[in-house]
Structure formats: structure tokens, C-alpha cells
């Protein structure tokens, strides 16, 4: 029995990317993708908690049927801003800009991304967009819903629509540049021997996500620009009173915003592939199928936007085409779930925190994905659209899916990023709390939705109260569960157990350099001669069955 | 608003159970696959937990057979869901021919309802049980949505166009009406009731609430006060402008060579933006009435024009005046298209 | 992929080699692919406006034809010629750099900049004319709303007056004009950025930074410039050439 060691670990050096240079300027003018990833980590965590505060305000208001906690205009701003912050300033950048930035070069054996200065520019653009949006929030907020439907947003809202739109517009360029950087890096900077089908599935997922970044984000940019233009200049693009078409806004908006949800979940799926394979010490079952599923989701995701518009006066025939394609896009996701599950068969599973988040993802994403089928089915969507069913569905994907993957990945790569381990017992405890709290928050909302409770309602008829009370109780537990990692992860950066190069004993390229890594990632450029998730050379595999006396011969 | 099945709202229309049936199918499949995956996961996680620190299981590359199986089966199931949903949807969004037509104008933050027989309501819609009802809706300002959970039906109410939804109530009672498209400050207050009554009660209600003009009569008055008579004739017989009698629902040839159906949207557009669809053989001389008529008034003009019928079999051509009569209903007679 | 793999922290070779690349070949590949990916994002960006154009043109064909006729086709055609010529000079500049013909490189870069500025100048003249004729849509310029003088039938032809074809309304003509300003305005912004990039290139070319061994920045800027040119090639017929036959016989 020997450890998975097929290489000589580098002699640990005291110099790594964190202490190579000191001072504010060395961080604010860094070209190191790892430092930029940390800059992003701090920024998106800040916005996550702002978005979370808005969420708590929503849930507190909805404890009672009357609108008695907040004025309706305030409530409308709260849910709008919750959506905008969580989507544009947390979820969309989360995995790509933190874990992606940190790991893409390392996992392919490169020294950095293709365009390090553009990477830094991405972060500054994000900050610029964030500052403009914060200004808009502090100046008075925006109350159009994150979907900015016209003509309410262009003509009737009295809130800071243009400022918020500008903030999101600027932020979009951050995404576009990150996606561009990843695509070029993955194409041109793989280490020798790192062929496409030896890439970790996280890289495939980041590549597919980058395709969406690059193709979809410009469309929301121009849509916001046109909306702002109309609001300022009253030209009649979307306002029917001036000859425009409000449904055109919806088409332009959803053409990006549907692929955007795949931007939010694909990276998380990539992380889950890593977690499942590495914490069960087995290659992903059906590697090529999982890889191509990511691409298929990215491509098909551009063809289904009309399923947000089944009741909008869109043609019935267009609705049928969008419904069919929406069912089709669910299939690659189902394939992934089955492949992940099959990977666990006859594997060797450890119950570390990252694995718990990975398993939680599979379970909750299954629920979220299947409830999406309810909404793809035209007749049922007619009843369910714009109710709490939709809210529950997308939170299952965004929180139960994307956020779980993010937390799992953060814990998995924490020792590599910081050189310290987080406290495992607290990690498992928090994962459990988050899982329980999350389900209690959002499962009742499915029921409330089918019962008819519309979304974006500040006050509601009393028969929906029981579901709202359960949901708020769950949200409190979920909020508490989120605070725990915030505390112990920060604590671990100073007091956590020091981690060596490969604390989990894994074959990935990122584990073949010290923790934290040196600025140029690898002492020498690696030459890859093994397949993805190859835990030991084939001739040295200890067959798990033999250890348990299940097999006679091997 | 509970039905006897838990977690389901009351079922009060002919479509409700159709939607519910598909919902139960979807729920069943969801519960099945969720349980399947969860149970397998829990089983594997326990059965294949790591026993010794350095063990490595034998890698399994994959199986094309399994991949095919779990691609094809979900795809087939998905297609059944699609086909079933599409079929019911087609029925939901195909308004029936002979339905009671009721006009709805949504505005921030109230519903204005106008029966063809003249009754007006705010935030309440009285309808008879067992009769098909079609709502013709528009908005005065932003997009709203007329949502009746008990009927499992909603449709966006969009400014600038007419949208419609139809239902046939099956059970007397009072049901929630919600606005289901965020529309600003009092979106959650833009609620009301749909009150379904037995036919006798409904007739009583109609006569008890009479006293208003029918929309068609109001429309006729507008038609005169706005000066439509001068080009289109007192009875829609035409003249300098195209004939309006018998126009509604007919195919119309435009100056561009296109043919369009003269539906509600066409008539509304021709009042607001007359040159948009110019009728063949007529010059662009009609002035626009945008800003001069409210959505309520447009609905009344629409009702009036719909009521204009040709009596004599003479064809209507520009310049001629065939004999026509109007059949603008009084409050005693039901709307022309009602059963 | 390249043959040799460096093991040192600082890559040897050309002074322009960035430290994170293995060799110049990889750097060149990355730069070129990066520019192509960026141009794809630009296509998606302009695409939204082309969609709006398509939609509203099919809704208001007569208004669009009337408005298009009212644009100055001479200036538009001149701009088209200027841009096509500038793409030629740009390509020559790239060629000159690749083969080491420094005079050609510098001259053509400078000429491309001059042609780009010419384009912008002609555009400015067009915009000024629109302002004078009150064709700026909406309330973009406060106090100066969209109120063009309309040709009355029977009056003698006045090129400053808008001739409305049958079926066109002033309101719908305004729709054309906001699309015109949005699309040509966005295009002009891209031209300005292009001229800025070329100025940088010219400055560093004078300092002998680019030559046969290192010319990728000029090549990828050429790609960008050609793309901006192609967008104009689409804009010109869609905006300037609609319905000319209705107005001018045929």
C-alpha cells in the first residue's frame, strides 16, 4: 500500500505567491492570476452578504400576510436589488473569477492566463461597475425587478434605472474579458502532453462557460444601453406609446439572461466533477459524455429563451418550439447526474466537506432541474409562471446547485490557495446546516406557487402564510449556516493547520506544486503523460475488491 | 381556496383538471427520479466508503450502453411531457368561436372590466358558470397579467396590443384574481375576484347592474363625436374612407399588396397609427387619434365597429354606400356573439 | 505546440516575449485567437441593434424608405470609399511590417489614421446636418426635438424637407433615426478606438518596436480595423440605400 506518488514533490520553499511581494501596490497592480482571484474572492464575498441581507429583509416581510414591515416601494427595491446583486455581482463571477482564475492555468500546466493585464483589468471593471451600482443603491435604489421589463423600466419607474443599468453594463465587460482570457488560455497554453481529453472536467466546464460569456454578455450590454437610451431620450424603442414594442425588450433581455443561468451553473458542475472523482478516487464515468454535455448545454442554452415568455403574447407556435428545445437542453444535465452517480459505484468515498457539498449538489440539482421541466411544459407553465414555483425552481439551481458547488470547490482548493486547512468538523457541520436550511426555505415555495401565490408580492392572501413562515424559518437556518464558513475560513488563514503540496493525495496538476503555489505556479513546465483522474499507473492499482476479499483473482 | 387534494388550489374551470393531471405526472416522475438518485447515492456512499487510507479502486472507463440508456429514456419521458403540455397549451390559447366577450383594461393598479352588455366592474369579474368566456385585454400603462389560479390560466396584458384568454367555469364560487406581472408600487394590491354564478343568478346580477350603456352604444357616440362619420359613413358604409360595416374578421387587402385579417389589433392600430396598414385604393388622409382616445374609449369604438353588419348583399367599394344597419345591442339583448 | 520547453523562470528570446508564455509562437497564437474571440463578441453586440433594425423596418417599411432617402447618399458613399481604402492601407501596413519595409509600414499606418479621421469628419458633417434639420430623435438634445420640415405635396422639391412616402408617418421616421444614430454612433465610437490604437502603433513603429520578427500587434489591430470596416459595409446599404428606386425612378 503506497500513497499516490508518481512524481518527486518539489522541495518546499518559503516563497509563494502570497509573500513574494508585499504592499498594497503589489496587490492592486498584480498580474498574477492567483492574486487577482483573491481580489475577486473578497469582492464577491462582500456582495454575497449584501445580497443576503436583502434576502433576509424579504423573508422577514413575508412572515406575515400584510405588508407591515416595509413600505411597498421599499420592498420592491429590496427584491430587485437582491436579484441584481446576487446574479450580476455574486453568482456570475463567483466560480469563474475566483476558482477559475486561480486554477485554470494551474490545471493545464501554464504559468498564468494568456492575458494577465486584461485579467487585472477585468477586476477593475468589475469594481467600477460595482461602485456605480452601489451609488445607485445608496442614492435611492431601483424597483423594476432584476428583469427591467419595459415600459415600466423605460417610462414609469421613478427609481435609479439608468445608474443601475450602467453599473451592470460596465460589469458585463468584466465577464466578457474573463471568458475571452479563458478561451485563449485553454486553446494555446496547455502544457506539453495535455491533450483536450486529458483535461480535468473543470476545464471543460470553464471553457463552455466562457463560450457563453463571450457570445451572450454583449447582447445584455446592448439591451441595457437601449433601455437607458430610451429612458433618457424618449425615442420609443420599447415603449408602445411611442411606437415601440415592449415584447422586443423581453426577447433581447432573455436571449442573454437564459444562457446566463448556465453561466451560473456550468462552472459548478465542473467543480462537482472534480469533487466526485477526487473524493472517490475514481475517474469520472463517461468522461467524454460529461465533457460534451457541458458544450451541449452551452450551445442549446442559447436556443430556449422564449420559455420565459410563454404567456407574454408570443406566438403559440414559437412557444412550442421553445418548449421542445427546453426539454432537449435538460438531457445533457441528466446525463451528467447519471455519470456522477455511476462514478461512485465501486469507488472509495471519503466524507470530507467538499464531497458533502458535491453530493448535496447532485441531490438538489436533480430537484431543481426536474422542477424546471414543469416550467418547460407549456400548459403547466401557464399556471406556474410568475408564481413562487419559479422562485423555488431557480433557487434550487442557484443555491442548491451553483452555491453548493462553489462552497465545495472553495473548501477543496482552500489548502492550495491559502496553504492552510479549514477545520473539517466545522466544515461538515456547516454543510449539513446549509443543506437542511436550504430545503426548508425553498421546498414550501413550490407548494405556495402551485397554490397560486404570485412572486414579487409584498403582501399576500392569508392562506399562503404557513408556507411563508416555514420558508422564513429555513432562511434563518440557511443564513446561520452561511455565516459559519465565513468565520472559520477566515480563522483558518491564520490558525489553520498548514497544508503540504498534496494534502488530499490526488493526481491533478495543481497538486504537483507547493501550497500555496509559487508565483509562476510550477518550478518547471510539467510534461503530462497520464490521463485525467489517473490515481495511479494502471499496473499499480490496488483493486478495492481484493482488499475486502470479494475477488479471487485480479 | 383549498381543494380536497392537498397543495392544489380549487379547480373551477374545464382546463383545471387537465393542467393538474399533467402536473401530477410531472410530480410523479420528479419524485421517482429524485428518490432514485438520492437512494442510490446514499447506498453507494455507505457501501463504498473508504476503509483504508491508501486504497485505490479500479477505474471504470464508462459504458456506451448505459449512456445510451440514460439518454434515450429521459429523452422519451421528456418528449411525453412536451407533447402533453403542448396539446393542453394549444387548447388553453385557442379562444373558442362562440364565447361571451368581456373587455379588460388593466392599469396601475386596478382592473377595469367592461361587459358587452354594458356592466362595468372594478377588480371583480362576474361570469356565468358553464359558459365560455373570452377576455379581450389591454393595458393603459405597463405590462400586467390576468391570473386566475382556480382556472389555471393567465395571460400578459400588454400596452399597445390586445391579448386574450378564455375559460369556462365549472363551479360557482369566488376565486382569486391576481396581477402576475410585476407592475410597480401596488402590484400586490392589484388583486380581485372572479365570481362565478349560476345562470339565473347571473341574469339577476346583469339586470341589477344595468344602467350603463353598452360599450357598443358608447362607441357609437364616440364615432360621431370624433368625426369618423365624415369619411366612414354614419353606419360604416364607407365613402372617403374604407367601409367598416362587416369589416371585423374579414381579410383586407392593403396598399402594399399584403392581406391581413381585420381583428381587434388591426382596428386599434388603424385608429392610433392609420398609415401603418393602409387599405388598398385609399389615400393616407386619416388623421391619427393617438393621445385623443383612452384605452377604454378604444375598446368602446372596437365594440361598435364589431357590431356593424352589412344587411344588403351589395358589395362595399370605395365611394359607394351600400345599405347597412347597425346592430348595436341594447342592454336587454346579449352581445352579438354570445351563445 | 512549440518544440522546446524552457525551464528557467525568465523566458529567453525576443524582448517582447511576455514572461508567462513559453515562446513567441505561443504568444502570437494567443494574441491572434484573442482578437478573433473579441471580434465575435462585437458581432453579438452589434447584432442586437441589427435585430431592432430588422424588426422595425418590417413594421414601418414606408417610413424607413422615406427616411433612408433623406440621408445624404453622397456623404455616405464617400465614407464607404474612404473606409474601404483605409482597409487597403491597413493591409499594406501589415505587409510592410512583415517584410521589413519600414517606410511602407509607417506611411500606410499614418495614411490609415488620416482616412479614419476623414471618415469621422464626414460623419460629423452628417450629424451636424441632422441637427440643423431637427432630425435628432427624442429628447436627446433638450429643447431641440425631432421636428423635421415635411415636404408638402405640390411644393417644389427641397432637399432639406422630408418627403413622406404613402404610409409613412413622422413618428415612424423618428424610429429610423434613433436606429441610425445608435448604429452609426456605436460604429463611430469603435472607429475612434481604432484610430487611437493605430496612433499607438504608429508611435511605437517610429521607435522601431515592430518588424518581421514581431508584428502581431499590427496584425491583430488590422483585424479589428477590418471588422469595423465590415460593420460599415453592412450599415451603409441598410441605412442609406433603402427604397431609392421608389424615390428616384425605376
Q: Which three cell numbers stand for residue A140?
A: 435611492
Place of cell 510539467: A526
pTM of the model: 0.90
**Rounded distance between C-alpha atoms, residue A407 and residue A411, angstroms:** 6
- CA-based nearest distance C157→chain A, Å: 28
A34 membership: H or E segment, kind and range: helix A33-61
Q: In the predicted model, what is the mean pLDDT of residues C208-220?
A: 92
Whether the ω angle into residue A516 lies within 30 degrees of 0, i.e. cis, is yes
DSSP assignment of C70-96: HS-HHHHHHHHHHHHHHHHHHHHHHHH
Q: Which three cell numbers stand for residue B134?
A: 373570452
What Å distances lie between residue A95 and A202, A206, A265, B254, CA to CA?
11, 9, 9, 56
Catalogue the E-assigned strands of chain B: 100-107, 110-115, 120-122, 124-128, 132-139, 144-148, 153-157, 163-168, 173-179, 192-197, 251-253, 259-261, 308-310, 324-326
Determine the pLDDT at residue A401.
Answer: 95
Q: Confidence band (pLDDT; 50, 70, 90) for B312? A: low
**Do residue A335 and residue B70 have CB atoms under 8 angstroms apart?**
yes
**Rounded distance between C-alpha atoms, residue B11 and residue B19, angstroms:** 10
- For B270, the closest chain C residue by CA position comes to C167
**Do residue C20 and residue A187 have CB atoms under 8 angstroms apart?**
no
Determine the pLDDT at residue B132.
Answer: 95
Structure confidence by residue, pLDDT tens digits, A512-544: 999 899 999 988 889 998 888 988 766 666 554
Determine the pLDDT at residue B211.
Answer: 67
Q: Confidence band (pLDDT; 50, 70, 90) for B321? A: very low
Structure confidence by residue, pLDDT tens digits, C58-89: 888 888 999 998 999 999 999 999 999 999 99
Q: Which residues pair with C211 in a beta bridge?
A: C214
Query: Does residue A6 lie in a domain region?
Result: no
pLDDT of residue A362 exceeding 60, the answer is: yes
* Residue C5: how many other CB atoms lie within 10 Å: 14
Those of residues 238-277 in B touching chain A at CB distance below 8 A are 273
**Do residue B34 and residue A286 have CB atoms under 8 angstroms apart?**
no
**Do residue C40 and residue A214 have CB atoms under 8 angstroms apart?**
yes
Whether the ω angle into residue A390 lies within 30 degrees of 0, i.e. cis, is no
**Do residue A346 and residue B58 have CB atoms under 8 angstroms apart?**
yes
pLDDT of residue B329 exceeding 50, the answer is: no
**Do residue C22 and residue A525 have CB atoms under 8 angstroms apart?**
yes
Structure confidence by residue, pLDDT tens digits, A292-330: 999 999 999 999 999 999 999 999 999 999 999 999 999
- Residue C147 with chain A: CB contacts under 8 Å: none
**Rounded distance between C-alpha atoms, residue A261 and residue A253, angstroms:** 13
Among candidate residues A226, A232, A228, A231, the one with its CA nearest the CA of residue A252: A226
- CA-based nearest distance C78→chain B, Å: 33
- Residue C169 with chain B: CB contacts under 8 Å: 273, 275-276, 288
Q: In the predicted model, what is the mean pLDDT of residues A223-231?
A: 92
- CA-based nearest distance A73→chain C, Å: 28
By three-state DSSP, how is residue A349 classified?
Answer: strand
Q: Say yes or no: A553 contacts chain C, CB-CB below 8 A.
A: no
- Residue C168 with chain B: CB contacts under 8 Å: 275
Q: Which three cell numbers stand for residue A460?
A: 399576500
Q: In the predicted model, what is the mean pLDDT of residues B137-150?
A: 96
Q: Say yes or no: C152 contacts chain B, CB-CB below 8 A.
A: no
Place of cell 388598398: B280
Count the alpha carbons within 13 Å of A36 in the hemisphere toward its beta carbon.
31
Determine the pLDDT at residue C158.
Answer: 78
**Do residue B188 and residue A324 have CB atoms under 8 angstroms apart?**
no
> Considering CB atoms only, which of B40, B50, B59 is closest to A349?
B50
Rg of chain A (C-alpha set): 24
CATH of the domain at A76: 1.20.210.10
Domain extents in chain B: 100-208, 215-326
Q: Which three cell numbers stand for residue A239?
A: 415603449
pLDDT of residue B122 exceeding 80, the answer is: yes
Determine the pLDDT at residue B330.
Answer: 36
- The phi, psi pair for A343, rounded to 5°, reads -60, -35
Chains linked to A by 3 or more Cβ pairs within 8 Å = B, C
Q: Confidence band (pLDDT; 50, 70, 90) for C15? A: confident
pLDDT of residue A453 exceeding 80, the answer is: yes
Those of residues 52-81 in B touching chain A at CB distance below 8 A are 52, 54-63, 66-67, 70-71, 74-75, 78-79, 81
CB pairs under 8 A between A and C: 116
* Mean pLDDT score of chain B: 86
Q: Confidence band (pLDDT; 50, 70, 90) for A388? A: very high
Determine the pLDDT at residue C248.
Answer: 58
Catalogue the E-assigned strands of B15-131: 100-107, 110-115, 120-122, 124-128
Query: Pairing between strand B173-179 and B144-148?
Result: antiparallel
Q: Say yes or no: A252 contacts chain C, CB-CB below 8 A.
A: yes
> Considering CB atoms only, which of C167, C171, C172 is closest to B255?
C167
Determine the pLDDT at residue A7.
Answer: 53
Structure confidence by residue, pLDDT tens digits, A409-447: 999 999 999 999 999 999 999 999 999 999 999 999 999
Lowest mean pLDDT among A205-209, C68-72, C111-115: C68-72
Structure confidence by residue, pLDDT tens digits, C151-188: 877 778 777 888 888 778 888 899 899 999 999 999 99
Percent of chain A with pLDDT over 70: 94
Rg of chain B (C-alpha set): 27
H-type helices in A452-464, by residue range? none
- CA-based nearest distance A46→chain B, Å: 29
User: Going from the N-terminus, what domains does chain C have, and what CATH number goes with each?
Assistant: 49-244 (1.20.120.80)
**Do residue A334 and residue B70 have CB atoms under 8 angstroms apart?**
yes
Rg of chain C (C-alpha set): 23
Q: In the predicted model, what is the mean pLDDT of residues A97-103?
A: 97
The residues near A297 (Cβ < 8 Å, ≥ 6 apart) are A208, A262, A266, A329, A332, A333
By three-state DSSP, how is residue B171 classified?
Answer: coil
Determine the pLDDT at residue A9.
Answer: 56
Percent of chain B with pLDDT over 70: 90
* Mean pLDDT score of chain A: 92
pLDDT of residue B332 exceeding 70, the answer is: no
- CA-based nearest distance A222→chain C, Å: 6
> Considering CB atoms only, which of C22, C37, C174 is closest to A214?
C37
- Residue C163 with chain B: CB contacts under 8 Å: none
Among candidate residues B165, B112, B169, the one with its CA nearest the CA of residue B134: B165
Those of residues 156-195 in B touching chain A at CB distance below 8 A are 156, 158-161, 163, 176, 178-189, 191
**Rounded distance between C-alpha atoms, residue B166 and residue B135, angstroms:** 6
pLDDT of residue A364 exceeding 90, the answer is: yes
pLDDT of residue B111 exceeding 70, the answer is: yes
CA C57 to chain centre: 22
Q: In the predicted model, what is the mean pLDDT of residues C17-21?
A: 89
> Spelled out in words, what is the top-level CATH class assigned to the domain B215-326?
mainly alpha
Those of residues 160-199 in A touching chain C at CB distance below 8 A are 176, 180-181, 183-185, 187-190, 192
- Contacting A with CB below 8 Å, chain C residues are 1, 5-7, 9, 18-22, 26, 29-30, 33-34, 37-38, 40-42, 44-49, 51-52, 55, 59-60, 137-140, 171-172, 174-175, 178, 182
Among candidate residues A486, A470, A401, the one with its CA nearest the CA of residue A435: A401
- The phi, psi pair for B330, rounded to 5°, reads -90, 180
- Residue A189 with chain C: CB contacts under 8 Å: 21, 26, 30
Q: Which residues pair with B279 in a beta bridge?
A: B254
Q: Which three cell numbers stand for residue B294?
A: 383612452
**Do residue C169 and residue B255 have CB atoms under 8 angstroms apart?**
no
Query: Does residue A2 lie in a domain region?
Result: no
Choosing among 2.60.40.420, 1.10.1740.10, 3.40.309.10, 2.40.440.10, the CATH entry for B100-208 is: 2.60.40.420
Number of structural domains (chain A) is 1
The boundaries of the domain holding residue A442 are 33-547
Amino acid at each position: 500500500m503506497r500513497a499516490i506518488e508518481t512524481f518527486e514533490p518539489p522541495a518546499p520553499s518559503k516563497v509563494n505567491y502570497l509573500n513574494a511581494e508585499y504592499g498594497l501596490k503589489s496587490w492592486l497592480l498584480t498580474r498574477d492570476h492567483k492574486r487577482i482571484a483573491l481580489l475577486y474572492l473578497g469582492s464577491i464575498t462582500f456582495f454575497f452578504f449584501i445580497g443576503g441581507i436583502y434576502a433576509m429583509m424579504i423573508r422577514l416581510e413575508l412572515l406575515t400576510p400584510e405588508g407591515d414591515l416595509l413600505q411597498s416601494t421599499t420592498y420592491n427595491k429590496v427584491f430587485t436589488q437582491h436579484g441584481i446583486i446576487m446574479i450580476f455581482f455574486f453568482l456570475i463571477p463567483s466560480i469563474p473569477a475566483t476558482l477559475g482564475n486561480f486554477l485554470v492555468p494551474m490545471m493545464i500546466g501554464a504559468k498564468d492566463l494568456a492575458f494577465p493585464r486584461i485579467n487585472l483589468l477585468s477586476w477593475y471593471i468589475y469594481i467600477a461597475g460595482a461602485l456605480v451600482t452601489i451609488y445607485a443603491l445608496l442614492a435611492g435604489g431601483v424597483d423594476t425587478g432584476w428583469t427591467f421589463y419595459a415600459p415600466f423600466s423605460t417610462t414609469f419607474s421613478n427609481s435609479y434605472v439608468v445608474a443601475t443599468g450602467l453599473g451592470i453594463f460596465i460589469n458585463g465587460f468584466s465577464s466578457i474579458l474573463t471568458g475571452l482570457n479563458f478561451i485563449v488560455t485553454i486553446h494555446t497554453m496547455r502544457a506539453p502532453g495535455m491533450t483536450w481529453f486529458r483535461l480535468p472536467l473543470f476545464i471543460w466546464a470553464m471553457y463552455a462557460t466562457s463560450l457563453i460569456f463571450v457570445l451572450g454578455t454583449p447582447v445584455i450590454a446592448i439591451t441595457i444601453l437601449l433601455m437607458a437610451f430610451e429612458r433618457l431620450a424618449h425615442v420609443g424603442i420599447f415603449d408602445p406609446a411611442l411606437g415601440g414594442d415592449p415584447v422586443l425588450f423581453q426577447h433581447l433581455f432573455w436571449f442573454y439572461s437564459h444562457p446566463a443561468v448556465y453561466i451560473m451553473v456550468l462552472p459548478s458542475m465542473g467543480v462537482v466533477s472534480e469533487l466526485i472523482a477526487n473524493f472517490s478516487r475514481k475517474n469520472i464515468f463517461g468522461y467524454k459524455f460529461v465533457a460534451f454535455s457541458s458544450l451541449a448545454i452551452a450551445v442549446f442554452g442559447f436556443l430556449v429563451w422564449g420559455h420565459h415568455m410563454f404567456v407574454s403574447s408570443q406566438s403559440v407556435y414559437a412557444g412550442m418550439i421553445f418548449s421542445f428545445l427546453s426539454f432537449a437542453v435538460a438531457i445533457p444535465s441528466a446525463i451528467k447526474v447519471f455519470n456522477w452517480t455511476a462514478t461512485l459505484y465501486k469507488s472509495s468515498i471519503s466524507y470530507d466537506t467538499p464531497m458533502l457539498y458535491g453530493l448535496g449538489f447532485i441531490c438538489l440539482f436533480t430537484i431543481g432541474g426536474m422542477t424546471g421541466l414543469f416550467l418547460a411544459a407549456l400548459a403547466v407553465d401557464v399556471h406556474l409562471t410568475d408564481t413562487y414555483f419559479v422562485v423555488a425552481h431557480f433557487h434550487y439551481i442557484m443555491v442548491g446547485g451553483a452555491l453548493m458547488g462553489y462552497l465545495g470547490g472553495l473548501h477543496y482548493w482552500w489548502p492550495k490557495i491559502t496553504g492552510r486547512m479549514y477545520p473539517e468538523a466545522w466544515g461538515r457541520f456547516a454543510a449539513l446546516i446549509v443543506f437542511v436550511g436550504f430545503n426548508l426555505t425553498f421546498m414550501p415555495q413550490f407548494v405556495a406557487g402551485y397554490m397560486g401565490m404570485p412572486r414579487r408580492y409584498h403582501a399576500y392572501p392569508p392562506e399562503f402564510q404557513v408556507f411563508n413562515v416555514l420558508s422564513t424559518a429555513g432562511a434563518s437556518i440557511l443564513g446561520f449556516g452561511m455565516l459559519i464558513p465565513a468565520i472559520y475560513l477566515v480563522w483558518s488563514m491564520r490558525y489553520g493547520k498548514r497544508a503540504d503540496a498534496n494534502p488530499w493525495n490526488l493526481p491533478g496538476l495543481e497538486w504537483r506544486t507547493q501550497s500555496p503555489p509559487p508565483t509562476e505556479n510550477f518550478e518547471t513546465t510539467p510534461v503530462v503523460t497520464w490521463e485525467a483522474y489517473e490515481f495511479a499507473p494502471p499496473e499499480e492499482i490496488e483493486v478495492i475488491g481484493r482488499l475486502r476479499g470479494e475477488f479471487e483473482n485480479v | 381556496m383549498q381543494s380536497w387534494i392537498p397543495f392544489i388550489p380549487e379547480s373551477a374551470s374545464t382546463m383545471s383538471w387537465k393542467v393538474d393531471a399533467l402536473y401530477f405526472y410531472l410530480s410523479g416522475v420528479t419524485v421517482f427520479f429524485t428518490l432514485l438518485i438520492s437512494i442510490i447515492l446514499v447506498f453507494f456512499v455507505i457501501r463504498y466508503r473508504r476503509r483504508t487510507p491508501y486504497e485505490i479502486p479500479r477505474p471504470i472507463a464508462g459504458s456506451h450502453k448505459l449512456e445510451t440508456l440514460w439518454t434515450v429514456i429521459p429523452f422519451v419521458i421528456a418528449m411525453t411531457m412536451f407533447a402533453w403540455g403542448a396539446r393542453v397549451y394549444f387548447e388553453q390559447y385557442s379562444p373558442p368561436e362562440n364565447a361571451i366577450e368581456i373587455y379588460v383594461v388593466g392599469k396601475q393598479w386596478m382592473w377595469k372590466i367592461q361587459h358587452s352588455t354594458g356592466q362595468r366592474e372594478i377588480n371583480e369579474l362576474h361570469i356565468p358558470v358553464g359558459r365560455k368566456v373570452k377576455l379581450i385585454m389591454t393595458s393603459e400603462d405597463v405590462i400586467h397579467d390576468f391570473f386566475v389560479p382556480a382556472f389555471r390560466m393567465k395571460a400578459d396584458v400588454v400596452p399597445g396590443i390586445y391579448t386574450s384568454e378564455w375559460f369556462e367555469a365549472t363551479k360557482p364560487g369566488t376565486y382569486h384574481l391576481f396581477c402576475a406581472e410585476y407592475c410597480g408600487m401596488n402590484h400586490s394590491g392589484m388583486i380581485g375576484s372572479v365570481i362565478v354564478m349560476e345562470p339565473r343568478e347571473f341574469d339577476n346580477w346583469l339586470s341589477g347592474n344595468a344602467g350603463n350603456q353598452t360599450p357598443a352604444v358608447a362607441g357609437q357616440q364616440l364615432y360621431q363625436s370624433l368625426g369618423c362619420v365624415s369619411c366612414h359613413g354614419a353606419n360604416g358604409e364607407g365613402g372617403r374612407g374604407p367601409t367598416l360595416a362587416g369589416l371585423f374578421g374579414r381579410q383586407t387587402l392593403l396598399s402594399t399588396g399584403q392581406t391581413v385579417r381585420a381583428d381587434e389589433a388591426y382596428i386599434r392600430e388603424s385608429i392610433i397609427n392609420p398609415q401603418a396598414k393602409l387599405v388598398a385604393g385609399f389615400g393616407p388622409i386619416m388623421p391619427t387619434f393617438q393621445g385623443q382616445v383612452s384605452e377604454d374609449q378604444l375598446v368602446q369604438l372596437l365594440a361598435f365597429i364589431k357590431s356593424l353588419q352589412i344587411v344588403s348583399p351589395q358589395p362595399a367599394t370605395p365611394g359607394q354606400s351600400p345599405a347597412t344597419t347597425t346592430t348595436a345591442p341594447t342592454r336587454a339583448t346579449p352581445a352579438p356573439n354570445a351563445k | 505546440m512549440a518544440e522546446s520547453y524552457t525551464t528557467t523562470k525568465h523566458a529567453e528570446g525576443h524582448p517582447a516575449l511576455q514572461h508567462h508564455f513559453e515562446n513567441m509562437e505561443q504568444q502570437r497564437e494567443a494574441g491572434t485567437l484573442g482578437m478573433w474571440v473579441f471580434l465575435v463578441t462585437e458581432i453579438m453586440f452589434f447584432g442586437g441593434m441589427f435585430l431592432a433594425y430588422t424588426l422595425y423596418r418590417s413594421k414601418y417599411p414606408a417610413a424607413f424608405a422615406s427616411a433612408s432617402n433623406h440621408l445624404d447618399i453622397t456623404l455616405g458613399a464617400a465614407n464607404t470609399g474612404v473606409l474601404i481604402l483605409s482597409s487597403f492601407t491597413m493591409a499594406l501596413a501589415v505587409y510592410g511590417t512583415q517584410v521589413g519595409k519600414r517606410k511602407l509600414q509607417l506611411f500606410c499606418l499614418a495614411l490609415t489614421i488620416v482616412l479614419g479621421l476623414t471618415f469621422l469628419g464626414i460623419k460629423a458633417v452628417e450629424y451636424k446636418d441632422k441637427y440643423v434639420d431637427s432630425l435628432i430623435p427624442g429628447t436627446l438634445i433638450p429643447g431641440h426635438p425631432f421636428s423635421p420640415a415635411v415636404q408638402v405635396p405640390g411644393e417644389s422639391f427641397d432637399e432639406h424637407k422630408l418627403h413622406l412616402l404613402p404610409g409613412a408617418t413622422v413618428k415612424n421616421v423618428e424610429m429610423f433615426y434613433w436606429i441610425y444614430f445608435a448604429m452609426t454612433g456605436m460604429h463611430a465610437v469603435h472607429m475612434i478606438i481604432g484610430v487611437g490604437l493605430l496612433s499607438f502603433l504608429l508611435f511605437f513603429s517610429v521607435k522601431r518596436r515592430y518588424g518581421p520578427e514581431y508584428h502581431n500587434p499590427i496584425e491583430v489591430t488590422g483585424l479589428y480595423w477590418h471588422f469595423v470596416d465590415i460593420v460599415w459595409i453592412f450599415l451603409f446599404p441598410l441605412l442609406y440605400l433603402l427604397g431609392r428606386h421608389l424615390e428616384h425612378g425605376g
